[in-house]
Structure 1
């Protein structure tokens, strides 16, 4: 082996010179600029979130504000009448009630089922189920109820019922509770319950509703 041959180093180390004052200032300036940009982005995000919250609040106070529906008894028809056995005044009466509903809200109302009750002078005398349906936004719909009234339900008020029928007018109170969902723009769905309370005068000779006063409201 030649002793005069050059020995190559296995690795080399390069020593970087320390940054100059101008380079250090520029580096600090870049860092401050990044922090400033991050702060600006954060403020913009917070502002956008606040604006979105205000928009949703305004939307809730206007579009989502539930306005009370209005109901009216369109027709009532006796579809079944069966006198009871014995000399006493007994009967089974089946009525088909058609109720019109107006929905003033800018959202449709869909319901799966509901219940209606019929009262005579504070006594529950009839119960009916409400079939599933849908009332369009700012539109009208109808509900049909089949209600069976038994004379035995009147109890101690049966003699008074006979007097009212002889006088030609029977006062009744009807209430309904229909739970469902309100659909906003076909995307947002909220649970809601529609209530209706009506005082009805039923005319006996004509077998129709003579007058009615209803109070309706809805609750989210």
Structure 2
């Protein structure tokens, strides 16, 4: 017997074209779904980033007020006549122990500090402190020496009354300008001001009834 080669019928040309169209549509749908997923991921990432930035802006990156505090004032030099009146020509000296607390997540760098001392509204002394830097969440302490001009005290008409009581009522004004810098993103100028009232006991050379109020300008 003669074997005949088996002949397979050819597929119609229309069927091949239909398969190609379906493959093309499927590929387009796959690319479209990938594009939508990619856009969705980008949008979700941007939303999460925006929420994180907002949270940081109101928590960690929010600039908080530095706290200045007058811890102690010490009389280091006071020469008296008859034990009650400051000696003419000899200045009286005070040392103020001042602390600057930085509650921010970045350092607080401040320039020269100034402290002015008043006696019944008249300037009797002034001092300048060196610039410094308070690290994040840390407290910086410094001693400021103030020389009081005794002649300014003696020329004040209230001195006689106060020396009889053995007390010198005084007030001080301190100013600390500085800047808070957070990762070079948030930069804020800050001015810390503090007004204090105190009473110097002439005989014991101690400070009595000290009260302070502070004001911060951002």
For residue 62 of structure 1, report the CA deviation from its aligned partner.
2.8
Is residue 114–residue 129 contact of structure 1 (8 Å, CA) maintained in 2? yes
SS in 2 for 1:159: coil
Give the match for residue 125 of structure 2.
126
Is residue 79–residue 95 contact of structure 1 (8 Å, CA) maintained in 2? yes
1:41 aligns with 2:61: no
Show the 5 A alignment for 1:75-154.
75-79=73-77, 90-101=88-99, 103=101, 105-107=103-105, 108-151=107-150, 153=152
- From the superposition, tell whether residues 185 and 209 of structure 1 become closer, same or farther in structure 2 (CA, over 3 Å): farther
TM-score (norm 2): 0.67
1:52 aligns with 2:49: yes
Matched length: 196
The runs of 5 or more residues in structure 2 that have no matched partner are 1-15, 82-86
Distance 1:143 1:117 in 2: 16
Is residue 82–residue 91 contact of structure 1 (8 Å, CA) maintained in 2? no
TM-score (norm 1): 0.67
The two structures, once aligned, show a CA RMSD in angstroms of 3.8
SS in 2 for 1:198: strand
Distance 1:186 1:80 in 2: 48
For residue 179 of structure 1, report the CA deviation from its aligned partner.
2.1
- From the superposition, tell whether residues 67 and 155 of structure 1 become closer, same or farther in structure 2 (CA, over 3 Å): same
The runs of 5 or more residues in structure 1 that have no matched partner are 1-18, 84-88
Distance 1:102 1:58 in 2: 27
Is residue 66–residue 219 contact of structure 1 (8 Å, CA) maintained in 2? no
